[in-house]
């Protein structure tokens, strides 16, 4: 029997293929249940108008109990959007990808969330701790604990110990 992970991903993929993705999001690659790529574009007026980004999902066998590892692709000439919650290495500080992940979320839900995160951005800027984070960031963004500092409206990051 297929694992819960692959069954769930197969189901999500079927829905994507039959219903398509929300506007501005399209499936770029889903050759297996380990890594999917999407393109994501903010529709309408935004500071990212006309810019297309590539979003990478990596799944482990515990998906959807464990969250996917989601980041923007920053290789092959691709870049991460300049956003206060997106590090220049493509890592994204979004709680739904970390502590507040829930298995009821889905790949498309994450895509839409991130698309919305971009759409609401008023000013393109990197996280304040971008340099510090990127310098030592783990390869897998899931190894990072992002902390939200409500007082300063400021995300900080932490590397999880292995």
CB of 49 to other proteins, least distance (A): 10
Minimum distance between the CB of residue 45 and other proteins, rounded to whole angstroms? 6
- Alpha-carbon torsion angle 150, 131, 92, 34, nearest 10: -150
Among 81, 94, 127, 142, binds other proteins (CB under 8 A): 94
110 contacts: CB under 8 Å, gap ≥ 6: 57, 68, 70, 96, 97
Site map (CB under 8 A) of other proteins, residues 52-91, x = contact: ----------x-xxx-----------------xx------
Element (H, E) at 130: helix 130-136
Q: In 3D, which of 148, 51, 33 has the Cα closest to residue 96?
A: 148
Q: Of 1 and 77, which CB lies nearer to other proteins in the complex structure?
A: 1
Q: Is 47 near other proteins (CB under 8 A)? A: no
Taking the complex as a whole, how short is the minimal distance between the CB of residue 99 and other proteins, in angstroms? 5
Residue 93 appears among annotated catalytic residues: yes
Is 110 strand, coil or helix? helix
- State how far the alpha carbon of 8 is from the alpha carbons of 43, 63, 68, 112, in Å: 28, 8, 13, 18
Distances (CA, A) of 158 to 32, 88, 145: 30, 16, 5
Nearer to other proteins (CB atom), residue 77 or residue 158: 158
- Give 75 or 123: the residue with its C-beta nearer to other proteins: 123
Which residues of this chain interact with other proteins, rule CB under 8 A? 1, 4, 7-8, 11-12, 14-15, 18-24, 42-46, 62, 64-66, 84-85, 94-96, 99-106, 108-109, 112-113, 115-117, 119-122, 132, 135-136, 145, 147-148, 150-151, 153, 156-160
> Which residues participate in catalysis according to the annotation?
93
């Amino acid at each position: 029997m297929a694992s819960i992970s692959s069954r769930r991903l197969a189901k999500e993929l079927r829905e994507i293929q039959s219903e398509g993705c929300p506007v501005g999001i399209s499936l770029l690659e889903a050759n297996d249940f380990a890594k999917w790529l999407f393109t994501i574009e903010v529709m309408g007026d935004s500071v990212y108008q006309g810019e297309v980004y590539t979003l990478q999902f990596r799944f482990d066998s515990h998906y959807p109990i464990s969250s996917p590892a989601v980041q923007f692709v920053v290789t092959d000439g691709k870049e991460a959007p300049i956003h206060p919650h997106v590090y220049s290495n493509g890592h994204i500080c979004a709680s739904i990808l970390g502590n507040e992940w829930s298995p009821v979320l889905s790949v498309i839900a994450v895509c839409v969330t991130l698309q919305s995160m971009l759409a609401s951005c008023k000013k393109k800027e990197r996280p304040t701790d971008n340099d510090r984070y990127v310098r030592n960031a783990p390869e897998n963004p899931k190894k990072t604990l992002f902390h939200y500092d409500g007082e300063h409206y400021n995300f900080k990051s932490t590397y999880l110990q292995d």
